Each structure stands twice: as C-alpha cells, then as structure tokens.
Structure 1
Amino acid sequence: MNTEILGLLCNPMKLERDRAVGELQKFLPACSKADRLEFQSNLLQLISDTESPWETKHGCLLGAKSLIPYANLESEREIDFLHQMKSVAEKLLTDVEVRVRLAAGEVLGSLCAKTGPDVYAQCKDHVLQLVQSSLDRQPLEGGGSRQEQLETEKLVEKLASSSQKRYSADAAQLFHDTAGWKHLETSLKGLQAMVEGCGTDFQPFVDDELLALVFQALAHANRFVRETGFYVCAALVCCGNTSQDDEGRDSVGVVNPIYAYGHEFSRRLAKGLSDNWSQVRLAACVAARKFLTSLPNDEAREVFFPDLLPQLCLNRYYVAEGVRIYSQETWRQVTGCRGRDLVQRHIAVVVDHYTQATESDNHAVREAACACIAELASKIQARAVRPYVSRLLHTLLLCFRDDSWPVRDAACVACGHFVLCFPDEAHGSLALLYPLFFANLGDPIASVRQGAAAALGNVVRAYGREAAARVMDQVTQGLKGVRNQPAESDKYHDPGKGAAVFGAVKKLRDNDTDLHSDNVMYSCGSLAPRMGRGGCSDHKFRRPSQPWEMADGCVHMLAELSQVAETSPAVFNTLPLVAEACHHRHYTHHLVFIETVCKQLPVIARGVGKRSFKAVVEEFFDPVFYGLECENALTSSAASQCLNQLGALLGPTILRAKVQNHNPSYLHHLDANVYIAPF
C-alpha cells in the first residue's frame, strides 16, 4: 500500500496526485508505526533528490502535509522527520514551480499547527526576507537564473509587440503590475499558512516589522498580491481572538494585535473594501468580518465603525454575487438588529462614502452606490437624512446621465424613492428629473423601462394630479407613437453622440478591428476609465430609442398608475389606446410589445377594478390569442398566463362567455390553455 500511494504521489498527472492524497488520508489512521516510519523515510528520500521533477516534489509535499498531523512527538525519529521536512519546505519556498512553492508554505503551516510557533521563529527571517525582496523588486532587474531572465524578456517583448517597441515603458509597467513579482504571492500565502497554524500562539510575533510588510502588500499594484495580503490580515486578526481584559491583554499579558494596531488595520481594510477588483474586495470582506467579530463587544467595534461601516453597507449591493452575499451576512453578524441605528448614528461618513463611490471608475460601484442612496431614503428616518437630501439628489442627477445603463437605472429608481420620501425638497428638481425619467421610460433596455415606470409611479404618489397629468400626457403620446414605428426596428442605426448603452448596434463595432487593436486592455471593464473618458466602451455609441420601446414603457407605466386610486380612472380611459397599439404588427418587435401587454394586463385589470375592466376586456382578445398562437415561446407563455389570470379575476365562465361572444373560434385555444398552463 505504501509503495502504491507513493507512486501516485509522484505521478505527473494532478488528478492522480490528488487521488493519492485521498488514499493516504484513509490509510494513515489505521496504519502501524512501522508503516508510517517507512513512508516518511521514502518520502524524504524522494523530495530531497535534486533530480526529482517538480511533480514529484509537489506530490511529496502534499503527502507530507497529510503525514504531519499523525507524527508522534515522543519519537525522536519522527521529530527528526519533522525537522527535515521543515528544512526542505523552507528551501522549496523559492522553487521555480509555483505549485511547489504553495505546497511548501502549506507544509510549514501544518508544522506550526503540530509543533507550535517555534517553526515560525526558525523560518521567520527567511520568509520575511523573501517577502521584502520581492516587494522591492523592479521589473527586468538582474537576479535569478539565466532561464528566468530569458523568460522575463520574452514576456515583456510579447507585451510590447503591439506597439512595435521591444521594451516599451507601457509593456514594462504592465509586467511590473502583473507578473514581475517572483515569489511574493506564494511567500505571503506561506506566511498566512503559518499564522493560521500557530493560531493564538502567533500573537507575540505581531510586530511593526511584520505589519509593515503586510500593509505594504495591501497597497501593491498587483491585485493577486493585494488579495493574498488581505487574507494574511484575516489570519493575523484571528490569532488574537482570545479572552482579554479591557486593555486587550490575554491571561499572560500579551496585547491582542487588534487593540495594538486596530486603527492601522481598519484604515487599510476600508481601502480594500473599496478595491476595484472583486477578488480583492472579497478578501478584504473576509478580513473585515474576522476583524470586527474578533472584538469582544459592540463598544469595542464602535471605535472602528467610522472606517468600516459605510463600505460594509455599500458592499451589500455590490454586483459581484460573492461579495454581495458575504457582505450581507457580515452585516447581520456585526450589526444584528442595530443596522439602521448605526447608519443613522454615522450618517455623515456614510453619505460621504456613497457620494464618493458614485465617482468611481468601476460602474458596478456606482450602481451599488445609487442603490444604497435609495435605501437611505426608504429605510432611514427622514430627520437623519433630510440635511443631506440636496447633496444626494445632486449626486443622483449626475448618475442619471451616466454612461452605463445599470447606473442610470439605479439612479432613476433612487430618485423615485427620494421624491416620494422628500417631496418638498425634491420639488425644485422636477424640471430636471422629468426629461430623464421619460428618457428611461423609452430606453432600449427593458429593465430600465420598468425602473422608470416604478420611479414615475412614486412621483405621481408624491405630487398627485400635477404629476399625473404630465405622466398621462406622455403615456398617451407614447402609445400613439407605435403607428410611426418603422417596419424594421433599426438594429444598426448610426450610433450618434449620446451616452454608451449595450444594444444590438454594438455588433457593428465588435467586428471593427481598428477600434480594438493597439489599445490598453482591461479585465471585464473593472479597471477601465469611465466611458465618458474613453476605455472599453466608446461614449459616442448609443442606439436611439424606438417608438415601440416608448410604448412598451408606457404599458409598464399604466400598470404602476393602476395601483394608485387617484389615477386608476385615467388608466381605464387609456386602455383602448393600448389595445389599438397591439394591432400594429408591421414591425419586427411587435411580439415583445404584446408580451409586455399580456404580462401587465392582469395587473391593470386588478387596479381599475373587475367591474370596469369587463367593459373593455374584449378589445384585448385578438392580441392575446395572437400571442398565444405565435411561435415565440416567451410571448406565448405570457399570453397563456394572462388568460388564466383574467379567468381567475373575472371568473372562468364569464371569460369564456365573452370570448365566445367576441370570436367563437378562440374557444378551443381557451379550453386547451386551461389544461396546459394552469394558473
């Protein structure tokens, strides 16, 4: 069995080496001391051989990591094995293969967990020197093997090839920011493993020298180094998670590093929580949660809330799902039921952070900031927010003109919340808001149209007849405009000079090599400049709204207004225009419009009332059954659900009688729909 597992650990295939680790973990609990000693001896022999390939070294390190917890510390032979493994792992921290370096760090962490902090004390100078030398390293500097230097030169030459400059400044800087850091990331990961292995015994080693290196890594140009640095921070704050007195001292008088360096941690964590890269932001979220939950009580956390609370609050709406979900759970654990009170208490720094976030180059941050500003209006006491309403509305108006449509959508919804919650303060901004609301109501993006309808619904609720008259006038014009819709929906219209949105016309530009050659590269747009200043999306690119899209937004608007008692009669009077718009089928996207009508018609029916809607329901049978029989699955499904909901509202017998009265040929479709798509 020993020989078989050892052979798998040395296999060139990673899957086989991983399988060997699983087999070894099954074998060790029941194996004899003699078998374990033999395995240790064979493992050391293989890993100490300088001719062994990196796969063998990697597999042996994985095996050693599994072996170490089973070592008998009363056996001199096994203690000798642990010492030799420490020496080997320490040496392999500088191996040319990154996977070997990572595994070596994990072995050192296992040794710390098994034998205590003496392992770190012996490795400390070497590990910290590796980190320091890599932090100070400059790209293309001398050092390392000739092979490493040649590989570096080839990489930089490749990066520079697009500009036809062998060692251009741009290529050198890109290498400097991404690949030119040798052992830095893996050395930090090894340090993290040792800190976690030592646990609370690591507290005496947390000093100015160590933290200076870690904090330097947190500000590094390379995002992977920053990410690892925050995980090291998470390990450091956990090592102080013991019972302390009011001054942060444990039972033997050692000061918890959180107390000694708390504000240094919190300031750097705050910066990490606002990092442009989602992976770095998530690592900072992990460190921030461990930092705050390691503190003994709410009073101790209160000191650090001005630094961390606004960032934690904003990240609950961040677009990256991992960051968002983790931050929501962190908020629950840290604030409990006091979240609103804490935001109100620190409202000044919260508002400052939100307004600064709307100026971020990362569109996801700007979108999250708008959502958070909307939350201030709807969830926080008005007396706390009122002094900042003017500033927040001004910020939202700027975001309403943003180049990114998700940001405009979030700003639109947020403005609707502010108008509803602070109608007096917002009234002076209506002249600027109405054109923006109406532009979003006809936006090419469907979700933006829905958001505009919801926001305008809040405007009507806030200002009553004054707003209702203006909105209904726009709805009437929008529904009548369908007759002017061109037969082709103008997918590839001239982009014009407006702000950038993502639509069908983008296809023209995606295949234009002149626009996508010899330019700066960005990953997922996270670090790209805002579109109005250049970057991955040209701010001059926009497809103008089509008449049918405005009509589509107007249908959503009617569904919103039907829920307002004062405007439901006006909505009822407008229904014939909706039915008429459905009969214009000369354009490509008419099925999308009919789908929207089918989805919103039951909502409108409930809003205007069962008795009133009976009088006009027959006007919609032709478009609904047209949608039911069409080949578009989404439209057909929406029509099917529409009929079932109308049947539940009016009564199936009444609906069937009206269908028969309108067109008896529709009855077999109606009857079939009852069985294939029950409500």
Structure 2
Amino acid sequence: MACVDAAVEEALALLGSPQKLERERGLSELTAALSPAEPGVVELVSRRLLARLGDAGWESRQGALLGLKTLLMQLQPVRSMEIDFTDFVGHLQEMALELLTDTECRVRLAAGEVLGALCECMGPTVFEACHDKILHLVHSNLERSSTCDMDDLEPEETQQLVDKLVCSRLDRGPEEVQQYAHAAEIFHDTAGWKFLETSMKCLQCMIVGLGVKFNPMITQDLLDLLFAVLGHTNRFVRETGCYVCSSLVSCGCIHGEDGRALLLNEGNAILLHGEQFSQHLSSALADNWSQVRLAASMATRNFLQSMPSDEDKERFYPILLPRMCLNRYYLAEGVRLYSQTTWRMVVGDCGRLLVSRYIDHFVTYYLEASEANNHAVREAACTCIAELATKVDTASVKPHVLKLMESLLLSFEDESWPVRDAACMACGNLVVCFPIEMRVHMENLLKLCLGNLEDPIPTVRQGAAATLANLVRGFGQDILGQLLVTLQEGLRHVDDQEANTERYNSLDKGPAVFGSVKRLRDNDPELHTDQQMFSCGSLAPKMGRHSKVAAGGCSGGHSFKRTSQPWELSDGCLYLMSELASISTTTATEIGKLLPNLASAAMKHHYTQHVNFIENVCRQLPVLAQCIGKRAFKIHLENFLDSIFYGLDCENQLTACAATECLQGCSDSRPSHSAWSCGIVQFKVLEEIGHPASSNSASAIVIFPTAFQAFPTHRVCHGRHGRKRRVN
C-alpha cells in the first residue's frame, strides 16, 4: 500500500506540473497506479483531484481534469463493491459543467472529455442533466458583434488584430471594394469563437460516450442547432460541427460481440432525418476550406455506412455522390485520398453504373463547380468532366456533351494555369470520344490549344500538345496539315528569341512560378503597402475566372501571366512532335521530316533559356526515335550529337542528366548500342578528369574499341568548351 501511495503521490505531483510532457507522464503513471483500482486509492485520488479544480493555474486544472477522466475509466471494476460514488460523480459533473466556460481553451476541452467519460460510465442520465447548459452555450455563442465583445478578456489585443485586418482602400473604386470582404468577416472567419467550439466538442464527447444510447435523444431542436453550426461563418466552427455530425450519424449502428457493425432498422433517427443530413453534408462537402471538406467527408462516410440497406443509401446518392466523386481529384491530398477510399467503400465496383444512372445530377454539379470561386474546385471539375468522357457510358454522356464543352471553353480563360491545363486535357478527351458532336468547336479548340502551346508554363504547353494530338485522332486529316505548318514555323521562333533575357534566367518550372517576373512583382512595394489582409491559405479572392482585381492572400501572384517568349513556342512544338509521332505511322513519317528543323533549333545558344530547350530535346529524342523507327531516325541522329554533348557539358544538372539519359535511350537505334552509350559516357568522364585518352582519339578507340565501332568514319563529336574533334 505504501508503494501504491508513493506512486500515486508522484503521479499527482506531475499532473500539476506546468510542463505538458510532465503532465502526460503523470497521466501514464496514474493509469498504471490505478490498475487494478482499489477503493481506497480511488477515493484518495478523487478527493485530491477535485480539490485542484479551483486552482489558479490552468495547467493544474487541466491536469486534474485529465486525471479525473482516467479515474472514471477505472470506476467500472469497483462499482460492484459496496462503495457509493454518487456524491463524487455528482460533484465532478457540476465542476465540469462550470469549467466549460473557463478562460483557458485547453481546460474547456478537458472538461468536455470528462463529461464524455461520465456519459460512458453512468449512461444517458448525465446528458439529460447537462443537456440544457451545453446547448445553451452553443446557441448563445453562435452570433457575436464585431466590436469589443469579440474577446472581452483581451480587448486591446483584439483591437490590434482588427486594425491590422482593416486597411484603408480609399484609392479603390466601388466595384473593386466589393471584391474584398469586410474586416469583421475576415476576423469572424479566422478567429476563435469563445465557448462555441469547445462546447461543440464537449457535445461530441458525450455522443461518443453514449454511442447507440444517444439515438433516442436526437431531436429536431438538436439537429437545427447542429445544422446552424454547419452553416456558420467561421471555418473552424464548421469543421467542428462536421466532426460532431460524424459522431452523431454513427449512432445508427452498434457493434456485436464479433466486432461487426449491426445497423439499426427501427428507431434509427439518422435514417429518419436522413434528408436533412444529406442536404447539409452536401454543402459541407463543397466547402471552400479543405479542413471542412475533410471533416465532411468523414461524416458522409459514417452517414452512408449507418444506412440499414443499399436501398436506403440510394435515397441520398443523387446529392452526395457527385460531391464525393469530385473530391477524389481535389487539390488537398488528405481530402483526395480519403475521398478515393470512401468512394471504393461505398460504391465498390458499381461506380460507373451509378454515375450513368445519376448522370444529370453529376453534370449539374460539375458545371456548378466549374464556376466556383475556389480555383482548386474548378480544376477538379475539369478533371471530372474528362473522366465522364473516358470512363462513363457514351450514351449517358452524349446528351450533355455540348454543355460540358461550353463550360470547358470558358475555363480556357481561367487565371489559374492548372485550371487551363485541366480544361485543355478534358477537351481533348471529349473530342476523342465524341468527334461528331465536337466538330462544331474544331476551329475554336484549335485556336485555344495553339495559344496554350506557347504558354509560359511548361505543363500547360505539354497538355496542349497532348490535346492537339487528340484533335488529330478525333478530326483526322482536317487539322493535321495546319499543325505541320505550325510546327515548321514554331521551330523557327528560336531565331526570334532575344539574347538579353537574363531577367528570366531564374525561370522555375514549378507550379505557379513565373521566374524573375514574379520575383519583381513580389518585391513591388505597392502590392504590400496598405493592402487588406487575408488569412494564410484563404482562397478568396485569389484566382477567379475573369476577375481583374489584384489577387490577395499568400498566393496573390497567380493572376499574373507574363507574355510568352518565342522559344517557348518552339518548346511547345517539340512536345507536339512527340505526341503526333505516337498517333500512327503516317504522322510519324511526317514528323520525321521535321527532325532537321528541330536539330537546327537546338543549335541556337544565344538566349539564356537554351539549356531548358536542350533539356527537353534530350528528353523527347528517345520518344521520337521509338515512334519514327530505328531505320528512319538513325540518319538524323548525327545532327543532334552536338546538342547532346553540349547538354552533357552543361552546368545545369537537369540538362546534363537528360543528355545522359538521351544517349542511353537513343542507343537503341544504333548497333552495339549498350557499348556505344557506355563508351560515350566514359569518354566524357575521361575528358572531365583530363585523362590523356580524352585528347587522343586513337587512345580512346583503343580503350573503347567496341563503343567506337558504332561510329562511322569522320564522326564529329562535341567536346568541352565548344571544341570539336574528328574521330577517324
């Protein structure tokens, strides 16, 4: 007993520590000391911890609450003994309710966990006793004024935050001012809401504690309050509301002795109020904030899994499935992966069939999402439209093709380049699957895709090339001739590239980065002085479809698009050559005729970005070689060797790596290709280290005889510092 008392004393001391790690260690030691629980020890610990709930330090109050929660978990083994814990439970319930309005958030959260543990131990009577107080806290904190009652405890700090959020926009016109939210809205959307979140989390803990026993307590008044939280202006409150909803909808099932979920049929309040749940969950699944979407996705999965039968699930498919389907392509990885898993769990192998069955609902939502303020939603909508064309029954999609195409054509003008790229790819898929219906848009599509072919973003250029190839697949020879002319002219644009483009030297190929143009814009003081603030990660009003107002927030440079450079059109033409060559032998033959033009363009080194172009040439040559054929390609290989060796010598590591891989890939078109590629690479290494063999072709041939057997006589190879040597 003495050892137990010592261990308990040490644990209680740690629970009152100001250090979080020590409080956690004290909690672990208390759990060990109470296993198994002895009535005397339980009574001692309960008395000591209850006394601490009135301490001045919040750390002591939180530690006491966590200790009492642990103690409640140990009450079950001793409740059968002749010991009355009624007074302890009643006093703890009263104190926990009082601490729900504590000044410290962590204390309020711990008080909610204690009430949840009380519900688990004592049953529904605890919730019935606390019901009015908790729901009153939620209801009374749903609204607040934008003045000092935002935070009565720290009015000075609150006013400083509001002052930072409120930036004078006297220089803006009325239309531009409308694009910016009021400072109070921004504050409400980001700041904490006093006791609202913690009261909701307390309600969630009690729901989890009661489990299926909470099902009879689901009333319309409770649901109205919960649904009001789901539509709250503050995103953190909406997120918390979704988690509460997720726990609430789980009350429709219980777990049997074998661990399997048993669904309630009679008296299932979730099924009874299913229409209301599905309506509000559908709105949360389309929320502008990723965290809310993730919480709503969890609630939706639990909601559908709590349905007693597949017939009951199908009642809610028309409104939930389109949103679940779109979130499978959402930008936020957590939402995307969770939604993909949920889709497989809910629909199994019937996904395509269900999409075809509810195609009207899917198309309506996709069109709505393509006009959303959130650029990530618009991108996902374009991707989903492309999926409709390629995966769903053609007969189901055909009546909606023209509406889908009109939406995609508008997305071509989006300020966000990922949206433009996704729209471009989706158009290509529609053309391949519905060439007759799409022929009316052929000229417009060709014009838009050629515009994307010279976009400053490499990914957009690559996507445009793939789409143009799909146009050829769908429309045949009608546009192939135009594209071949475009390729001839586009490859010559390198000659028009100005040499003094060092200001774009730091051009990055990463998403939404526009080189030094973006850097100059980022450092422009006018963009960062007396501007309205937005929270980190806010999506409004950054990238719109046609907005001309300067973007705000952390990604404010997205709406800027610099003028394309001539070399970028040549780079896009290179992508297009690879795509066209893969269509058929006929197109491959036509592309083979343009290889001398490409080799000539690769020899132009007068502009800064030539290393990027050479890198792409090295990456595309093996693809072209495979499509055109060894016999047709090898007669052009010699024209590219100077550019390839230039890439090997390049200080740009990406270009050098691409050149090395190009040698290995193109060696497939030469006899004794393995020795040839290895010999070339080894020869360059010898040259780098200054080996005598690198300056003596005869020595090189002796060292690498099998490699140089592949070279015809008088092969000109590019050497270091622009030197050329003849290998005889």
Relative to the length of structure 1, the TM-score reads: 0.90
Partner AA of 2:560 in structure 1: F
Q: Is the 8 A contact 2:390 2:433 kept in 1?
A: yes
1:578 aligns with 2:598: yes
Deviation of 1:600 after TM superposition, in Å, equals 1.1
Aligned pair 1:137/2:159, yes or no? Answer: no
8 Å contact 2:162–2:184 — kept in the other structure?
yes
Q: Which amino acid aligns with 2:564?
A: S
**1:77-116 mapped onto 2 (5 Å cutoff):** 77-116=84-123
In the other structure, the counterpart of 2:427 is 415
For residue 57 of structure 1, what is the amino acid of its counterpart? R
Q: Deviations over 1:554-603 (max 9, x none)?
A: 11111111111120001111111111111101111111111111111111
Are 2:51 and 1:39 equivalent residues in the alignment? no
2:418 and 2:105 map into 1 onto residues whose CA distance is 39
Q: Deviations over 1:76-115 (max 9, x none)?
A: 3545433332222211110011111111111211221222
Unaligned stretches of 5+ residues in structure 1:
245-249, 494-499, 669-679
Confirm or deny: 8 A CA contact 1:618 1:662 kept in the other structure.
no
For the residues of structure 2 that align with 1:185 and 1:662, how far apart are their CA atoms?
79
Aligned partner letter, 2:183: A
Alignment of 1:109-258 (within 5 A): 109-140=116-147, 147-148=153-154, 152-160=158-166, 170-179=182-191, 181-242=193-254, 255-258=267-270
Q: Does 1:564 align with 2:564?
A: no
Deviation at 1:157, TM superposition (A): 4.5
Residue in structure 1 matched with residue 442 of structure 2 by the alignment: 430
Helix, strand or coil at the partner of 2:568: helix
Asked if 2 retains the 8 angstrom alpha-carbon contact of 1:57 and 1:100, the reply is yes
Distance verdict in 2 for CA 1:28–1:549, change over 3 Å: farther
Gapped regions of structure 2 (runs ≥ 5): 1-6, 171-180, 257-261, 506-511, 678-706, 721-728
Instruction: Report the CA distance between 1:254 and its aligned residue.
Output: 5.7
Deviation, 1:173, is 3.8
- What residue number does 2:683 align with? none
My pick for the range that moved more, 593-602 or 654-663, is 654-663
Match of 2:562 in 1: 543
- Alpha-carbon shift at residue 661 of structure 1 (Å): 4.2
- TM superposition shift of 1:33: 4.6
Seen in structure 2, the aligned counterparts of structure 1 residues 31 and 546 have a Cα distance that, compared at 3 Å, is same
User: Match for residue 361 of structure 1?
Assistant: 373
SS of equivalent to 1:17: helix
In structure 1, the residue matched to 2:60 is 56
In 1, Cα distance between equivalents of 2:182 and 2:80: 58
d(CA) in 1 for partners of 2:225 and 2:182?
27
Matches within 5 A, 1:439-458: 439-458=451-470
Cα distance, 1:38 vs. partner? 2.6
Inter-partner Cα distance in structure 2 for 1:363 and 1:184: 30
Q: Distance in 1 between matches of 2:290 and 2:265?
A: 39
Distance of aligned partners of 1:142 and 1:328 in 2 relative to their CA distance in 1, 3 Å threshold: closer
Q: Distance in 1 between matches of 2:418 and 2:354?
A: 28
Q: Indicate how the Cα distance of structure 1 residues 667 and 504 shifts in structure 2: closer, same or farther if over 3 A, else same.
A: closer
Instruction: Indicate whether 1:276 and 2:274 are aligned.
Output: no
Q: Are residues 460 and 492 of structure 1, via their aligned partners in 2, closer, same or farther at CA, if it must alter by over 3 Å? A: same
Aligned amino acid, residue 524 of structure 1:
G
Measure, in 2, the Cα distance between the counterparts of 1:649 and 1:80.
88
Out of 297, 317, 342, the position equivalent to 1:285 is: 297
* C-alpha displacement of 1:626: 1.4
Say whether the 8 Å CA contact 2:99–2:111 is kept in structure 1: yes
Match of 1:14 in 2: 20
After superposition, residues 456-605 of structure 1 pair within 5 angstroms as: 456-489=468-501, 491=503, 502-522=514-534, 523-528=536-541, 530-531=543-544, 532-533=546-547, 534=549, 535-536=551-552, 537=556, 541-565=560-584, 566-605=586-625
Structure 2 partner of 1:300: 312
Relative distance call for 1:464 and 1:10 in structure 2 (3 A) is same
Identify the range of structure 1 (130-139 vs 476-485) with the bigger mean alpha-carbon deviation: 130-139
Q: State the alpha-carbon separation in 2 of the partners of residues 5 and 277 from structure 1.
A: 41
Partner of 2:633: 613
1:258-407 paired onto structure 2 within 5 Å? 258-407=270-419
Over 3 Å counting, the alpha-carbon distance change for 1:660 and 1:199 in structure 2 is: farther
1:69 is matched with which residue: 73, 84, 109? 73
CA distance in 1, matches of 2:24, 2:18: 11
The CA distance in 1 between the partners of 2:581 and 2:21, in whole Å, is 61
Q: 1:150 to 1:611 in 2, by over 3 A?
A: closer
CA apart distance, 1:506: 1.8
Would the alpha carbon gap of residues 143 and 271 (structure 1) be closer, same or farther in structure 2, given more than 3 Å must change? Answer: closer
Q: Deviations over 1:28-58 (max 9, x none)?
A: 43565544433332222212x3x43011111
Percent of aligned pairs with the same amino acid: 47
With over 3 angstroms needed to count, the CA separation of the structure-2 counterparts of 1:141 and 1:619, relative to structure 1, is closer
Q: Give distance in 2, aligned partners of 1:92 and 1:542.
A: 54
CA-CA distance at 1:393 after TM superposition = 0.5
Distance 2:103 2:365 in 1: 43
Deviation, structure 1 residue 252: 9.9
Q: Which position in structure 1 is the counterpart of 2:692?
A: none
Q: Contact (CA 8 Å) 1:660, 1:667: kept in 2 or not?
A: no
Per-residue CA shift, 1:199-218, capped at 9, x if unaligned? 00001110011111100001
8 Å Cα contact 1:276/1:527 also seen in 2: no
For residues 312 and 281 of structure 1, the distance between their equivalents in structure 2, rounded to whole angstroms, comes to 10
Deviations 1:608-658 (A, max 9, x none): 011111111111111112111222111111111111122245433566444
Deviations 1:138-176 (A, max 9, x none): 33376996x455554554455447679xxxx93344334
After TM superposition, give the deviation of residue 665 of structure 1 in Å.
6.1
Q: Shift in Å at residue 510 of structure 1?
A: 1.3
Deviation at 1:17, TM superposition (A): 2.1
- Greater shift in the superposed pair: 563-572 or 21-30: 21-30
Q: Is the 8 A contact 2:602 2:643 kept in 1?
A: yes
Aligned-partner Cα distance in 1 for 2:283–2:150: 33
Larger CA deviation: 15-24 vs 550-559: 15-24
**2:703 equivalent in structure 1:** none
Provide closer, same or farther for how the CA distance between residues 660 and 155 of structure 1 changes in structure 2, counting only shifts above 3 A: same
- State the distance in 2 between where 1:226 and 1:73 align: 39
Measured after TM superposition, the shift of residue 284 of structure 1 is: 0.8
Q: What is the deviation of 1:461?
A: 1.3
User: Which secondary structure does the structure 2 equivalent of 1:135 belong to?
Assistant: coil
Q: In structure 2, how many angstroms separate the alpha carbons of the residues matched to 1:144 and 1:154?
A: 12
Distance in 2 (CA, whole Å) between partners of 1:618 and 1:2 is: 83
CA deviation after TM superposition for structure 1 residue 63, in Å: 2.1
1-side partners of 2:711 and 2:264: how far apart? 85
The Cα of 1:438 is off from its aligned counterpart by 1.0
Partner of 1:643: 663
Contact 2:116 2:209 in 1 (8 A): yes
